[in-house]
């Protein structure tokens, strides 16, 4: 082994120790056999210092797939890659394009591969990539028990404990990203093993063990990107089938999303009359479904909620406890982009008849939406009680404050024609915050259920 070139591995996430730039540069200058460094510190200032001061012939290689493109732009020579185990041709091609200065095509491939790059680290490496290779039939999955970080342990542990030893979080990511990233998007055939993994994932959704978004301890709602990617995979994986309940009630859908197999033991009250809950939606005990209503895949409806006639709970919508969705209320779905927070209706909210809540709006606990109120992410909300205007911040979501009572209102339209014709535009208005009278009305409704 003497005399062979050596590559320094700087992977602080694995070793808990960072090889700082002066140390790397000293070794590069004084040890002839050290030919380069795999840099996975994700510290661009440190990496640029090495690139700027390195001796001739010393190679800097990215140690993180996701930053390969920017590091090559700064002067790095390539990547020691994880994702290349799954899609070597694509990763090699992206790297070659970047080294050739073909940034447009390289960037396109980078973003195509990025979900897979991220998925490879939803648990400690190399567990996820081994799961991917097992799913692809390239090795037998035998992985020792892995540690779960303190930061993500609570959420990940719940997923893993509820889903099984092979981790649906990992395998669904693989089925979605590893197989589709390297193959034309028109792919229509999936192996039985992949469909079995998806079925496991859908069961976890239906049982509430995984969900499309969750509220953190800080009160902020965050989308679970991998869950939404898994849902999208189901549509691509599915085959159109005749899924009619009988000769009179006919429908045709992807076989990956049948009607949810709700049982009496689920303690969900579904009144006869044409309601449908799609498999992959969680509906908690104590929920009442008045006909006809519809709950789409990825939705989460918590205990004691009433879904009234002609109401819709869209894909990935998150509905809290003891919510009343009145007749014809529409809670929109947000499946794409996968990083976007879906519509959220928190606990004890009353959504009046013919209301519509769309575009990732969050309605905080105990709010009341009067009949006919429409909320979208692009719509300002005027708070008369607190003399404020609420708008969706850049990259954020529109939030209705806790306890707010929102009614349909109007504001004067601008322009000569609008002034001449007396035109106005719809505007949601907060007129007050919940008081004893409002609470009494909602309690009466609950008593009459």
pLDDT along the chain (449 residues), means of 10: 85 86 94 94 93 95 95 96 92 95 93 87 76 75 43 34 38 46 51 86 93 92 88 90 83 92 94 94 97 97 98 97 97 84 96 94 97 94 96 91 96 92 95 78 54
> What does pTM read for this prediction?
0.64
The pLDDT value given to residue 395: 80
Residue-by-residue DSSP string for 85-122 = GT-HHHHHHHHHHHHTT-HHHHHHHHHHHHHHHHHTTS
Domain total for the chain? Answer: 1
Q: Which two tokens stand for residue 313?
A: 């709970």
In a domain, 122, yes or no: no
Q: Give the pair of three-digit tokens for residue 157.
A: 């542990």
Which single residue is written with the structure tokens 């510190």? Answer: 41
Cα 319 from chain centre? 16
Rounded CA-CA distance 20/207 in Å is 47
User: Going by DSSP bridges, is the β-strand pair 324-325/350-351 parallel, antiparallel, or unpaired?
Assistant: parallel
Cβ atoms within 10 Å, residue 237: 23
Range of the domain at 408: 237-448
Residue 339's pLDDT is what?
Answer: 75
- Please name which of 397, 423, 400, 401 lies closest in space to residue 412, comparing C-alpha atoms: 423
- CB contact set of 424 (below 8 Å; sequence gap of 6+): 410, 411, 412, 413, 418
Whether 74 is covered by a domain: the verdict is no
How far apart CA 333 and CA 314 sit, in angstroms, is: 4
Cα distance between residue 258 and residue 278, in whole Å: 6
For residue 308, what are the CA distances in angstroms to 211, 281, 330? 23, 17, 11
d(CA 28, CA 8): 9
Q: What is the CA radius of gyration of the chain?
A: 27
Give a yes or no: residue 35 inside a domain.
no
Looking at residue 274, its pLDDT comes to 86
> Residue 170 domain-assigned?
no
166 within a domain of the structure (yes/no) = no
Task: Report the distance separating Cα 277 and Cα 294, nearest Å.
Answer: 6
Token pair in block for residue 306: 């009433």
Q: Does a structural domain hold residue 208?
A: no
Per-residue pLDDT at 2: 65
Residue 200 lies in a domain: no
Cis peptide before 337 (omega within 30 of 0): yes
DSSP letter, residue 147: P
Other beta carbons within 10 Å of 175: 29
Q: Which of 171, 168, 173 is nearest to 158 (CA)?
A: 168
Q: What pLDDT, on the 0 to 100 scale, is given for residue 141? A: 59
Instruction: Give the Cα separation of 249 and 257 in Å (integer).
Output: 17
Say what the pLDDT of residue 101 is.
Answer: 94
Beta carbons of 281 and 298 less than 8 angstroms apart: yes
The domain spanning residue 361 has which CATH number?
Answer: 2.160.10.10
Is residue 19 within 8 Å of 8, Cβ to Cβ?
yes
Give CA–CA dist 284/307, Å, rounded.
Answer: 12
3-state secondary structure 256-317: CCCECCCCHHHCCEECCCCCEEECCCEECCCCEECCCCEECCCCEECCCCEECCCCEECCCC
pLDDT at 328: 97
| Cα end-to-end distance, the chain, whole Å | 79
Entry field: residues in the chain = 449
**Residue 83 included in any domain:** no
């Amino acid at each position: 082994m003497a005399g062979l070139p050596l590559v320094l591995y700087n992977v602080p996430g694995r070793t808990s120790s960072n090889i700082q730039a002066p140390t790397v540069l000293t070794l590069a200058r004084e040890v002839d056999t050290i030919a380069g460094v795999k840099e996975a510190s994700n510290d661009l200032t440190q990496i640029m210092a090495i690139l700027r001061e390195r001796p001739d012939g010393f190679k800097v290689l990215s140690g993180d797939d996701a930053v390969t493109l920017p590091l090559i732009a700064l002067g790095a020579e390539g990547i020691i890659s994880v994702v290349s185990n799954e899609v070597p041709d694509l990763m090699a091609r992206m790297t070659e394009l970047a080294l050739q200065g073909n940034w447009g095509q390289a960037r396109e491939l980078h973003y195509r591969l990025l979900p897979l790059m991220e998925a490879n680290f939803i648990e400690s490496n190399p567990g996820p990539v081994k799961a991917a290779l097992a799913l692809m039939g390239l090795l037998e999955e035998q992985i020792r028990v892995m540690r779960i970080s303190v930061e993500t342990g609570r959420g990940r542990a719940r997923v893993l404990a509820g889903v099984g030893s092979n981790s649906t979080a990992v395998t669904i990511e693989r089925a979605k990203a590893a197989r589709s990233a390297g193959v034309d998007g028109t792919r229509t055939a999936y192996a039985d093993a992949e469909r079995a993994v998806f079925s496991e994932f859908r069961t976890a959704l239906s049982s509430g063990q995984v969900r499309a978004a969750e509220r953190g301890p800080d009160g902020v709602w965050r989308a679970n990107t991998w869950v939404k990617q898994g849902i999208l995979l189901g549509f691509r994986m599915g085959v159109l089938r005749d899924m009619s309940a009988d000769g009179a009630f006919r429908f045709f859908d992807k076989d990956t999303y049948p009607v949810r197999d709700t049982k009496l033991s689920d303690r969900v009250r579904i009144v006869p009359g044409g309601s449908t809950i799609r498999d992959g939606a969680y509906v908690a005990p104590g929920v009442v479904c008045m006909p006809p209503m519809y709950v789409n895949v990825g939705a989460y409806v918590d205990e004691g909620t009433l879904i009234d006639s002609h109401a819709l709970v869209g894909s990935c919508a998150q509905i809290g406890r003891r919510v009343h969705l009145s007749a014809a209320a529409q809670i929109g779905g947000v499946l794409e982009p996968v990083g976007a927070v879906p519509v959220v209706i928190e606990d004890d909210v009353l959504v009046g008849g013919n209301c519509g809540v769309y575009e990732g709006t969050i309605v905080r606990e105990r709010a009341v939406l009067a009949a006919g109120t429409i909320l979208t992410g692009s719509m300002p909300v005027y708070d008369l009680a607190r003399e404020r205007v609420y708008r969706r911040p850049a990259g954020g979501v529109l939030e209705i404050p806790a306890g707010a009572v929102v009614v349909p209102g109007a504001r004067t339209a601008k322009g000569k024609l609008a002034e001449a014709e007396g035109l106005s535009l719809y505007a949601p208005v907060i007129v007050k915050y919940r008081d004893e009278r409002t609470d009494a009305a909602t309690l009466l409704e609950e008593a009459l259920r």
